[in-house]
């Protein structure tokens, strides 16, 4: 509507102007040397207007020509930047895929196109790291001098040091990386990994957040602690992280006994037997008693904390067998079988009573991450390396360990 109106107004104005020019009276005489031009005023006005338009177009063309080299250079720069960005992207993918050759090619291309950019330096260093080239170290060191990408430099140095087994250096670089970028979780995990490799479980505990990892690290640190008070504090940390973990409860009872708190240790074991009966707890409960008959009586007291549980029946059967009470041993071993014991322990007691060779035991532990069975407890799974993933193998518990 408005467009049509504007068109009508413009057409009317042009028509009026043309009418006015056509109606201009008189003529124009131009003399230039031998030439003498005589024309009407209207034609002269039109010729002047056409000349002005041609002049304006000419000037515009000249300006464009003058700016052409600058525009060409800008276009070329843009094309180079785009090609450089593409090389960087391809290099990132090659690094992520672990393709050393591809990463090196793209790093060289990006370097030629973009020059000394921090990301190009990082890509070159990562490519060198993937190829096992010593230049990687120098590249990462150069990155640590740039405040914007310092983290990437220290991260690369920490990884290199960890890979080559220089654990102190790896820990130092991981700390520097954390200082360069405190909000991220990578440096913390790296420091945790280094501390576990150094078997510095107390330092690892300070860095771990996950409850099962904290339990396992606290138990391992308590076993390392030289002072009884320190061991007790660490064992309490373990129980705090996982109150129903037999590993943590056994560590606490052991630490309490080590610190001369025998009554507290016995309370912990009784409480532990109620929450999570486990051969480790029974072993600690019976440790101060040597006489077989007295051990069978002590076992009854512990089993009374969780009557009818498969572990209680196995404990009673085992101690009765040692005390030469075959009737009691058979009754409890059969009760354990009825309660679902399938790992061979109840069957072994019955076999011994009948003078037969015992069946093989199932491994006592199993990793809940990779499901690998293990005969002994470890702070981290020997198969997958995860911390605190070994759990009692409920399908089969082997005889107690110390």
Question: Would you tell me which residues interact with Zn ion (CB under 5 A)?
Answer: 367, 369-370, 381, 383-384
Considering the complex, state which of residue 135 and residue 375 has its C-beta at the smaller distance from Zn ion. 375
Question: In this complex, which beta carbon is closest to Zn ion, that of residue 255 or of residue 367?
Answer: 367
User: What's the closest the beta carbon of residue 248 comes to Zn ion, in angstroms?
Assistant: 19
Give yes or no for a contact between 142 and 121, defined as CB atoms under 8 angstroms apart: yes
Residue 362 C-beta: closest distance to Zn ion, Å: 17
Residue length, the chain? 402
Shortest distance in whole angstroms from residue 203 CB to Zn ion: 23
CB of 373 to Zn ion, least distance (A): 10
Rounded Cα gap, residues 287 and 320, in angstroms: 16
Q: What is the dihedral of CA 14, 17, 23, 28, to 10 degrees?
A: -110
Smallest separation, CB 267 to Zn ion (Å):
33
Nearer to Zn ion, 211 or 359 (CB): 211
State the minimum distance, in angstroms, from the CB of residue 173 to Zn ion.
28
Beta-strand relationship, 365-367 and 27-32: unpaired
**3-state class of 399 per DSSP?**
coil
CB 222 within 8 A of CB 202: no
CB-wise, 315 or 390, nearer to Zn ion?
Answer: 390
Of 51 and 370, which CB lies nearer to Zn ion in the complex structure?
A: 370
User: Nearer Cβ to Zn ion, position 40 or 372?
Assistant: 372
Q: How far is CA 219 from CA 191, 242, 277, 379, 391, in A?
A: 19, 11, 18, 8, 14
For 307-343, letters b (16+ CB in 10 Å) and e give: eebbbbbbbbbbbbbebebeebbbebbebbbeeebeb
| Helix, strand, coil share of the chain (percent; to 5) | 70, 5, 25
């Amino acid at each position: 509507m408005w467009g049509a109106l504007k068109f009508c107004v413009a057409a009317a104005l042009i028509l009026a102007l043309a009418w006015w020019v056509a109606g201009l009276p008189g003529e124009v005489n131009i003399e230039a040397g031998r030439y003498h031009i005589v024309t009407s005023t209207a034609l002269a006005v039109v010729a002047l207007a056409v000349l002005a338009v041609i002049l304006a177009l000419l000037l515009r063309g000249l300006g464009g020509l003058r700016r052409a080299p600058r525009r060409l250079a800008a276009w070329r720069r843009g094309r180079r930047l785009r090609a450089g960005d593409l090389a960087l992207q391809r290099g990132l993918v090659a690094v992520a895929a672990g393709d050393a050759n591809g990463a090196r090619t793209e790093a060289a291309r990006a370097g030629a196109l973009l020059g000394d950019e921090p990301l190009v330096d990082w890509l070159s260093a990562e490519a060198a790291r993937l190829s096992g080239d010593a230049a990687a170290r120098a590249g990462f060191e150069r990155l640590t001098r740039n405040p914007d990408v310092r983290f990437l430099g220290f991260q690369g140095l920490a990884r290199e040091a960890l890979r080559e087994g220089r654990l102190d250096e790896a820990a130092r670089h991981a700390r520097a990386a954390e200082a360069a970028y405190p909000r991220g979780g990578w440096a913390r995990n790296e420091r945790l990994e280094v501390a576990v490799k150094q078997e510095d479980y107390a330092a690892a505990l300070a860095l771990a957040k996950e409850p099962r990892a904290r339990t396992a690290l606290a138990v391992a640190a308590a076993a390392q602690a030289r002072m009884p008070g320190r061991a007790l504090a660490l064992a309490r940390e373990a129980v705090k992280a996982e109150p129903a973990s037999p590993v943590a409860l056994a560590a606490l009872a052991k630490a309490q006994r080590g610190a001369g708190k025998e009554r507290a240790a016995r309370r912990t074991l009784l409480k532990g037997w109620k929450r999570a009966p486990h051969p480790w707890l029974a072993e600690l409960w019976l440790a101060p008693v040597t006489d077989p008959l007295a051990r069978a009586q002590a076992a009854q007291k512990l089993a009374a904390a969780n009557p009818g549980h498969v572990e209680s029946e196995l404990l009673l059967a085992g101690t009765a067998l040692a005390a030469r009470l075959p009737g009691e041993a058979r009754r409890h071993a059969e009760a354990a079988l009825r309660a679902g014991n399938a790992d061979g322990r109840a069957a072994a007691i019955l076999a011994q009573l009948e003078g037969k060779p015992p069946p093989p035991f199932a491994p006592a532990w199993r990793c809940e991450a990779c499901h690998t069975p293990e005969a002994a407890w470890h702070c981290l799974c020997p198969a997958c390396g995860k911390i605190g993933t070994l759990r009692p193998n409920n399908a089969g518990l082997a005889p107690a360990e110390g």
